[in-house]
Amino acid sequence: MSFKEIKPMYLGESLLYFGIPSVILYINIYYGVPYLDGMGVPLILSFPLALYGLLGLLFFAALIAYRIEGNPFTIVAIVKRFRLQAMNRKMWLISIGTFLLIIVLEELLKFTSKILASIPLFSPPEILPEFIDPTKTLVLPFTEFMGIPLEGNWWILLVWLVCLSCNILGEEFWWRGYILPRQELAFGKWAWVIHATLWLFFFHAFLKWNYIVLIPTCFLISYMAQKYQSTWVAAVIHGIGNGLFFAFIIPGIF
C-alpha cells in the first residue's frame, strides 16, 4: 500500500484550518439562524442546518484533504491515516473514565456560563434553544424540542441521530483524524495543547459563554487522542457526552 508521508501543520496553517470552519459556524449561528427565523423557517430546521450541516461537511472535507495528500482511498489506508484502529477493553474503560471525569469537572465549572452570558460580549443570541442558552430555564422532562411538541413525534429522534452522527464524524475526522497527526509533527508532545486551545477558543466561539466550562472537554479529549494515538478514544468520549441528550428527549416523546 502506498501511503504518503504526512506533512507537519505549523501554527499559521493550524490557524487557517481551525479558523475557516469557526468563522463560518459563528456566522451561521449568529446571523444565519436569526435570518431564517425571520423568513419563517422553524428552529428545528434552521439550527441543525446551521450547526450540524457544517459539521457534516467537515467529514467530507477531511476525506478530500486526505485524498489531496495523495493517499489511496481504501479502508486499510483510511483507518491508518485517521487513527481508527479498533479499541480494546482497556481503551473503552479509559474513554468512559475520562468522560466521567469531564462530567464532574464541567459540573463544577457550570456556574461560569451564566456569569459570562451576563456580559454583553459573551451573551448568546436570543434565538438559541433553551438547552444551549444558560440564561433560559430548563424544565425537565422536556415537553417540546426547539418549538416542536415532543409527545409522539418519533421523527425528532431520527433528526437528532443524524445531527449526532454529523457532529462526531465531522469533528473527529477533521480535528483529531486529519489535523492532530500533522500538528504532532510540528509541535511534538505539546501538540494537544495547541490543538485544544484552537478547538476551544476558535471553533467554540459560537458558545463563547461556555469557554470556561468547556476547558475539560477540549483539553482532555485532545490529550487522550494524542496520548493513545486514537481518534476512536476522542470519538467515544465526545459521542457519549453529546449522545446523552437522548435521555432528555425520549421521555418527552413517550
Q: How confident is the model over 8-47, as pLDDT tens digits?
A: 999 999 999 999 999 999 999 999 999 999 999 999 999 9
Mean pLDDT over the full length of the chain:
93
For the chain, the straight-line distance linking the first and the last C-alpha, in angstroms and rounded, comes to 51
Q: How confident is the model over 39-98, as pLDDT tens digits?
A: 999 999 999 999 999 999 999 999 999 999 999 999 999 999 999 999 999 999 999 999
220: helix, coil or strand?
Answer: helix
Nearest partner of 166 among 59, 45, 18, judged by Cα: 59
Q: How confident is the model over 156-175, as pLDDT tens digits?
A: 889 889 999 999 999 999 99
Backbone phi, psi, residue 108, to 5°: -70, -30
C-alpha span between 243 and 98 (Å, rounded): 16
CB 55 within 8 A of CB 24: no
Backbone phi, psi, residue 149, to 5°: -55, 135
CB 199 within 8 A of CB 218: yes
pLDDT band at 2 (very low <50, low <70, confident <90, very high): very low
Q: How confident is the model over 101-138, as pLDDT tens digits?
A: 999 999 999 999 999 999 999 999 988 888 888 988 77
Joined grid coordinates for residue 104: 464532574
β partners of residue 148: 145
β partners of residue 149: 144
247: helix, coil or strand?
Answer: helix
Helix pair 89-109, 231-243: axis angle to 10 deg? 50
Whole-number pLDDT of residue 127: 87
β partners of residue 82: none
Quote the percentage of the chain above a pLDDT of 70. Answer: 98
Phi-psi region of 228 (alpha: psi -120 to 50; beta: other; left: phi over 0): alpha
Whole-number pLDDT of residue 1: 35
Q: Can you give the pTM of this predicted structure? A: 0.94
